[in-house]
Structure 1
Amino acid sequence: MQETLFCLRVGHLLPYSMSDSNTTDFTNPSTFILLGIPGLEAAHVWISIPFYSMYVTALLGNITILFVVKREPNLHGPMFYFLCMLAVTDLVLTTSILPKSLSILWFNSREIDFNACLTQMYFIHCFLATESGIFVAMAFDRYVAICDPLRHSTTLTNPVVAKIGLAVVLRGSILALPYPFLARQWPYCRTNIISHSYCEHMAVVKLACADTHVSSYYGLFVLFCVKGLDVFFIAISYIEILRAIFSLTTKDARLKTFGTCGSHVCAILAFYIPGLFSSLMHRFGSNVALHFHILIANMYLLLPPMLNPIIYGVRTKQIWDRLLHLITNKGT
């Protein structure tokens, strides 16, 4: 009887010991499991509809911007070159997360390879930093065009624009490197289940069974010191731009001049405000529902790429006119 009870106890504990070994015997798991949007599993299909619509809009809008600028020699200038850089950045950024997120929402395909997860993390942070740098470059372009218009063509030549673009990409590439390297070094002995729809940095790092303050501090460093400096330089540029605008004699001249900056201002607000809100909420909003965290994080990566081509296409007269010209010519 005692032998039978002993066997039953061992048999009862065996599944737990096996399960425990599955979660404690890896320091670098071969795969992670993305849950999508926990708490809203029943609505995954419905949530995928706006996600897919935003992704398609971003793809079509940014490809259209690239096509119009390439086709029209009159648009071959610094402002439109920076706009093309922004379009390419948005295309890569959305494509790095949306296909996998949609496969989770549509097909419940939750597994992602460990290295693929770190690669996705790298691309997200690389191109977010790149986009922030492009906005600084565009602010500098507007500053020179309005505050020193006679020297605009000699200051922002094609080689200078290319060097600025290269510097922005290199900065984003270098700043993003510590994210996956730090995430790779932590031991993941608790679980490999990520409560998110993509490999968001803090969502992955929180799975580690080690002191991960270095990763958290580096994320805050990039947020406040890098993007904070970008916002500072953009603000300085626009202070000088506003001074130049208010020094103009007529109201029409002021409105016309400021109108050339309207698209850039709208795009900046669409990028930085949700980004700041998402980052701070993820770190300090412990009382906010998890699914709300994830929805905001997705909106942060989807809204700017979708809105940028709409903002620039509608508000930038040269692009709108050229697009209408191409459409009407094709129709005749």
Structure 2
Amino acid sequence: MSSETVLICGGAGYIGSALVFRLLKETDFKIKVFDNLSYGGDSIFSFFNFPERFEFVKGDVRTFDFDQLLKGVDYVVNLTALVGEPICKKFPKEAKEINFDSNIRLAKACEKNGIKRFVFTSTCSNYGLNETGEMIKEDGELQPISLYAETKVDSEKILINELPDLPCTVLRFATAYGMAARVRFDLLLHELIRDAWTKAKIYVFGAQSWRPMVHVDDIARGIMLVLSKSDSIKKKDVFNVGSNDQNFQKLQLAQMIAERFNVIIEETQSVKDPRNYKVNFDKVTNELGYKPIHSAKESIDQIADALESGLIDDRILHESVNVKQN
């Protein structure tokens, strides 16, 4: 095990930095991070304290020589993407090139180079708008209503139905939240917290809409679980990653935050994000033994404490986003 290497593409990002931390702390894997550092490299500075196990390569996923990058690599986790609809809408050409074209090019290179498992990080946003009210399983209808989700769905189809010699696990993550080395404040829970802190009021549109949630550290733990069970799981498979008891209506999240910050909630009318879906996570629990260890309430308290202590300041609040609003 100690000689095996995991390549994490996008390893300096929000999820990537949490994953690298977990892998270095709890496994014997050697870690190679590939990232273009579009959001800086602060999140991975401390990992250089593991010189025998950590390596960093800077590059652009659209142009890099993957055959060279994959030398000595056993497993690949691809987190590289323009994440979320705002940045994909702002840069649609780049979104397709990075999220789809480059992902498939990397997957083909992994198949060619005999990679033991390719882990593709996808999203529960693929389910889009579900009017049935039922909890959606992995074989449920995919209804992407954003360019971001479209790139993920299109990638999934090729990874699962083509590339027969590539062992591949697709992980559809619930909406992320929680503190990490590279924190983000353009995530649902964090946006509501930011409103509570900066405006003393929480603005909620689509208050009755459902959204599954999962802590960034639990995302990292899910990826680690797949890597640890790579020899025993199916060659190709798809898992929703989250927990049934963390399906929330947006108003429920707002109410938890409002109670912590002692602010009011204002429901607004908007169609900018009509997503509405509850997700079933039985498969990942039953087949992989996955169980999250964090809660939304816990993270609300942690972020509130960080704001009140001054650890998170206005600069972090407004700059820790994937795309800045004008």
TM range (shorter): under 0.3
Task: Tell me the TM-score normalised to structure 2 length.
Answer: 0.24
Larger relative contact order (C-alpha < 8 A, sep ≥ 6)? 1
More strand per residue: 1 or 2? 2
Q: TM-score, normalised by structure 1?
A: 0.24
Rg larger in structure: 1
**Greater helix fraction, Structure 1 or Structure 2:** 1
